[in-house]
């Protein structure tokens, strides 16, 4: 079993912000099985070490099988995480892992400091700034289980669900399902004309249409 320490490790997340909660578990389960069949991940959730102890990663942390991986993964990628909001992975003897309700997964993926851009007018709302109270309220509603968590733009008054808000530097997204690639910021995934490996990678991770929101962070 591979023990990883993701402290300050760069990561790239692909967030499906359109998927409703009712379909997230089935979609994540199918993705897990497909990646296992491609020999891209191990069957069971990996463990990571922090402060000398081991614990299940907040979603599922899977070790990539280096030279045996069938996917065009960047050599800097050391693990893949599959996240479903309000669920956690448990190892089992049949499928390797399955999702159960509970856990601390909130479906939020963000860099340390980001400005959110209104989908309607492009106005930037800074987290922690003078207009940040509305962002904090929307985040609170989202973490309580809402699928909408509307955020009102202080500039145009637009009433838009939080999952549709973005940051200019690809520093924020939220959704019911996401895939995290630990080890690097894969900027090629946001290229308007991605090369074949990037396109294949998105497709293998369930994003055949290239619609998932990309987030780059460290943690």
Indicate if the pLDDT at residue 179 is higher than 50. Answer: yes
Indicate if the pLDDT at residue 56 is higher than 50. Answer: no
Residue 57, CB half-sphere, CA atoms under 13 Å: how many? 25
Indicate if the pLDDT at residue 60 is higher than 60. Answer: no
Indicate if the pLDDT at residue 191 is higher than 60. Answer: yes
Per-domain residue ranges of the chain: 3-106+174-218, 115-167
How much is the pLDDT for 49? 33
According to DSSP, the β-strands at 60-63 and 79-84 are antiparallel
- Confidence grade of residue 37 (pLDDT, cut at 50, 70, 90): confident
- Contacting residues for 180 by C-beta, under 8 A, at least 6 apart: 11, 12, 13, 59, 80, 81, 83, 109
- Confidence grade of residue 108 (pLDDT, cut at 50, 70, 90): very high
- Confidence grade of residue 48 (pLDDT, cut at 50, 70, 90): very low
Indicate if the pLDDT at residue 81 is higher than 90. Answer: no
d(CA 213, CA 31): 17
Cα-only R_g, the chain: 17
Computed over every residue of the chain, the mean pLDDT equals 81
Percent with pLDDT over 90 in the chain? 43
Q: Which two tokens stand for residue 173?
A: 């997204």
Element (H, E) at 135: helix 132-143
Q: CA-CA distances (angstroms) from residue 138 to 13, 88, 116, 134, 151?
A: 21, 23, 12, 6, 6
Higher local confidence (pLDDT), 94 or 175:
175
Beta bridge partners, 218, equal 10
């Amino acid at each position: 079993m591979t023990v990883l320490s993701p402290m300050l490790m760069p990561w790239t997340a692909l967030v499906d912000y359109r998927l409703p909660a009712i379909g997230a578990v089935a979609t994540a389960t199918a993705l897990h099985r497909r990646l296992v069949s491609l020999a891209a991940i191990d069957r069971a959730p990996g463990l990571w070490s922090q402060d000398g102890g081991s614990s299940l990663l907040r979603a599922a942390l899977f070790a990539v099988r280096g030279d045996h991986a069938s996917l065009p993964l960047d050599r800097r990628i050391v693990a893949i995480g599959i996240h479903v909001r309000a669920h956690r992975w448990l190892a089992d003897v049949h499928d390797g892992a399955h999702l159960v309700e509970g856990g601390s997964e909130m479906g939020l993926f963000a860099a340390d400091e980001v400005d959110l851009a209104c989908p309607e007018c492009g106005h930037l709302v800074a987290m922690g700034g003078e207009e940040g109270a509305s962002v904090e309220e929307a985040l609170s509603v989202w973490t309580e289980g809402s699928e909408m968590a509307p955020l009102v733009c202080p500039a145009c008054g637009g009433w838009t669900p939080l999952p549709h808000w973005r940051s200019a530097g690809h520093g924020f997204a939220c959704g019911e399902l996401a895939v995290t690639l630990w080890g690097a910021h894969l900027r090629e995934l946001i290229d308007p004309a991605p090369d074949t490996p990037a396109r294949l990678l998105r497709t293998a991770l369930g994003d055949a249409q290239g619609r998932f929101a990309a987030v780059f962070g460290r943690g």
